[in-house]
Structure 1
């Protein structure tokens, strides 16, 4: 991992219209931790609350899941996720990348079952685990597209 990446605090978002998964990761140790679900109102966050979370964690990079169809085409949800990512970047002036989120939800549900078996899933949802998986995939291959 390049040295410039090793000091990054990454915050990832699994965008949704009713709720959004959020995770935080520290690149130096390649960690990723799902946070509590964030409520959305028709795809719009309470920006004041979201910015409080950003201020608390002080990320240096944002990843926003880009929901693509299996044929690589974008959907209405893709456009809304891009709009959220652009506004997030504008509100915070923090570098923001869109990353392919296909298959993360399925993988997240499997991981959630593991959390439940360990009794650790009380406040963690599949969407937040999906956000955590976005961070893990970024560590393996840091690539994305601009919002």
Structure 2
């Protein structure tokens, strides 16, 4: 199995959380949050991150309702993933992100109380949860990378 960098994005119309992980340990860590202006991502910052980390794959969180149906932001996340592919030619997969923000908030609160709940930390930690969940549900596919 070869070592592979994978970046995850937790898409939001105001902020996009970013995490980096790799397939050998199937773990991730938060990197940053990129601001969005009127739903438009900071493509310059995203390009810098992709150039710095050279991921073989990008995982984009796919926001769904608890019953599995799409919500208004789902289409925006889909468009973001397609734009990543068109702009940078990198393989993009989508992964269910239900409850990732709630889990991120609980984790950060346990670690540092209310002071740890700043928007950037929550978004980046949500991206970690999305990526580690993707690792868990795609073990066979991950090993094939």
TM-score range, shorter chain: 0.7 to 0.9
131-140 vs 106-115, which moves further: 106-115
What secondary structure is seen at the aligned counterpart in 2 of 1:136? helix
Length-normalised TM-score, structure 2: 0.86
Return the match for 1:106 from 66, 90, 102. 102
Structure 2 stretches lacking a partner, 5+ long: 140-145
Return the match for 1:66 from 62, 67, 78. 62
Deviation of 1:78 (Å): 0.2
Structure 1 stretches lacking a partner, 5+ long: none
Give the Cα separation in 1 of the matches to 2:119 and 2:61. 21
1:40 alignment counterpart = 36
Deviation of 1:122 (Å): 7.7
Length-normalised TM-score, structure 1: 0.85
**How many equivalent pairs are there?**
138
RMSD value, Cα: 2.1
Within 5 Å, give how 1:67-82 maps onto structure 2. Answer: 67-82=63-78
Deviation of 1:120 (Å): 7.6
> Which one has the bigger helix percentage?
2
